[in-house]
Amino acid sequence: MERLKNMELKRCFFLLSVLCLATALFLTFAIYLLCAKAAERFPSGGISIDFDGMATELAEPDLQQRQILKLLDGIRLFSAVLLPAGGLGIAGILFYHLKLKRPIAVLQMGTERIRSHDLNFSLPEISADELGQICAAFEMMRAELLKTNRELWQQAEERKRLNAAFAHDLRNPVTVLKGSIRLMKSGRADEHTLERMDRYVQRIEQYVEAMSSIQRLEQLRVRPCEMTGSVLREELEETARLLAPGTDIRLSVTDLGTIRIDHGIFLTVAENIIGNAARFAHEKLEIRLTQAGDVLGLIVSDDGPGFPAELVKNGPKPFGKLEESPEHLGMGLYGSSLLCLKHGGELQMKNLPAGGAEVTAFFVLQKTCSEKKIEKS
């Protein structure tokens, strides 16, 4: 039965039709023989001529016997017509129950759930035939729609948080500017008023530029290319040397071979988290690049004061300040988090038990051309 479920539709229908039709013909032949055997018990009438040429008149059947013989002839006729037709009908019913009923029900359930804007379900694996492949393709489409919807929902929620943070952080500069304008209108402005206004205008410009950079990150598309581990190691060494001069840098890279990753996203994230660690490191900075399956991990740790507890708990936020400098808006870690999400990964932060902080950026790697060829073969 399982073999029939996985068989091609045309082949399965043909096999069921042949089996049911053969069974029907066998039954028709059996009924014909039984009726013929039963008819032999009754006199048939007419004349019998033996080998000597002697003619013998046979007994004629009576009325009741003639009715029975007609009934037997009718049974043979109807069985010759109805049984083959019934066999084909049974073949169609079996074909529907074995091959069509469940896939149609599953697809109907899936379309009704999607029509009601519900994607939180999964279609079971039915069979390997054409309808099973359609159900599998439908399930892949549903999973992609669910993934896209979740990404859109996350983007919408993130945009709400961005707008709220932007409005909150703009409130103070705008309030200061309004107060300065009132002082100027009243003639009570001093020489520090213009300096203060200029400083807060620059602050607003920084916020606007930060918002623009976030929008550019959201619209960025992942364009992976093949890279070797040795190239990434050289770039990490160069980045660490430029961003953390005078710091004891320890770099370790596992044997990666050739991987497929968006080079620009990787370098941007590496520069952000290495630069952030370099600002707070006292003496040491450790960088590790590892791979586990199709996930690449960039781990950067320092011996600095560590992250605030709220940052470790809630993750990086836009316009969150890691230091008191008004020019530093904390966009590096937040932008890196967005880029990791773009690449299918995430950004994790924690404080080390012995002191210092550690940031891990995960990237989901794409399959290389050689890996795709191996899969096809």
How much is the average pLDDT of 219-231?
A: 86
Instruction: Note whether 215 and 234 are same-domain residues.
Output: no
Among residues 293, 296, 309, 288, the alpha carbon closest in space to that of 340 is found at 296
Number of domains in the chain: 3
- Is 200 a residue whose pLDDT tops 80? no
- What CATH number has the domain bearing residue 211? 1.10.287
Percent of the chain as helix, strand, coil, to the nearest 5: 60, 15, 25
Instruction: Note whether 23 and 69 are same-domain residues.
Output: yes
- Mean pLDDT of all residues belonging to the chain: 82
| pLDDT score, position 52 | 64
Domain closes at, from 118, 134, 166: 118
Reported as a single tens digit per residue, the pLDDT across 135-188 is 989 999 998 898 888 878 877 877 777 677 667 667 767 877 888 888 888 877
| pLDDT score, position 324 | 41
DSSP string covering 239-278? HHHHHSTTSEEEEEE----EEEE-HHHHHHHHHHHHHHHH
| pLDDT score, position 284 | 92
* Domain presence at residue 343: yes
| pLDDT score, position 326 | 39
- Is 97 a residue whose pLDDT tops 70? yes
Instruction: Note whether 287 and 256 are same-domain residues.
Output: yes
Report residue 120 as tokens.
Answer: 């939180």
Task: Give the three-state DSSP class for 58.
Answer: coil
Instruction: Note whether 212 and 275 are same-domain residues.
Output: no
Better-scored residue on pLDDT, 161 or 89:
89
Better-scored residue on pLDDT, 2 or 76:
76
Instruction: Note whether 241 and 367 are same-domain residues.
Output: yes
Reported as a single tens digit per residue, the pLDDT across 309-342 is 888 888 887 655 544 443 434 567 888 888 898 8
Instruction: Note whether 284 and 333 are same-domain residues.
Output: yes
Q: What percent of the chain has pLDDT over 90?
A: 25
- What CATH number has the domain bearing residue 256? 3.30.565.10
Reported as a single tens digit per residue, the pLDDT across 230-248 is 999 999 999 998 898 888 9
Single-letter amino acid, residue 337: S
Q: What is the DSSP letter of 360?
A: E
* Domain presence at residue 131: no
Instruction: Note whether 168 and 306 are same-domain residues.
Output: no
* Domain presence at residue 313: yes
Lowest mean pLDDT among 29-33, 102-106, 140-144, 171-175: 171-175
The upper half-sphere exposure of residue 270, i.e. CA atoms within 13 Å in the direction of its Cβ, equals: 26
* Domain presence at residue 145: no
* Domain presence at residue 128: no
Instruction: Note whether 229 and 209 are same-domain residues.
Output: no
Instruction: Note whether 268 and 187 are same-domain residues.
Output: no
* Domain presence at residue 141: no
Instruction: Note whether 241 and 370 are same-domain residues.
Output: yes
Instruction: Note whether 241 and 103 are same-domain residues.
Output: no
| pLDDT score, position 327 | 40
Domain closes at, from 170, 191, 219: 219
* Domain presence at residue 130: no
284-292/248-253 β-pairing: parallel
How much is the average pLDDT of 278-303?
A: 93
How much is the average pLDDT of 82-96?
A: 91
Report residue 175 as tokens.
Answer: 């309030």
| pLDDT score, position 79 | 87
Better-scored residue on pLDDT, 48 or 328:
48
* Domain presence at residue 179: yes
| pLDDT score, position 290 | 94
Q: How confident is the model at residue 53 (pLDDT cuts 50, 70, 90)?
A: low
Domain closes at, from 174, 197, 219: 219
Q: What is the DSSP letter of 98?
A: I
| pLDDT score, position 192 | 76
Lowest mean pLDDT among 18-27, 147-156, 346-355, 363-372: 363-372
- Is 347 a residue whose pLDDT tops 50? yes
The dihedral region occupied by 46, where left means phi > 0, alpha psi between -120 and 50, and beta the remainder, is left
Question: Domain limits at 27?
Answer: 2-118
- Global pTM value: 0.54
Instruction: Note whether 195 and 309 are same-domain residues.
Output: no
Burial readout 126-136 (b: 16 or more C-beta within 10 A, e: otherwise): bbebebbeebe
Q: How confident is the model at residue 295 (pLDDT cuts 50, 70, 90)?
A: very high
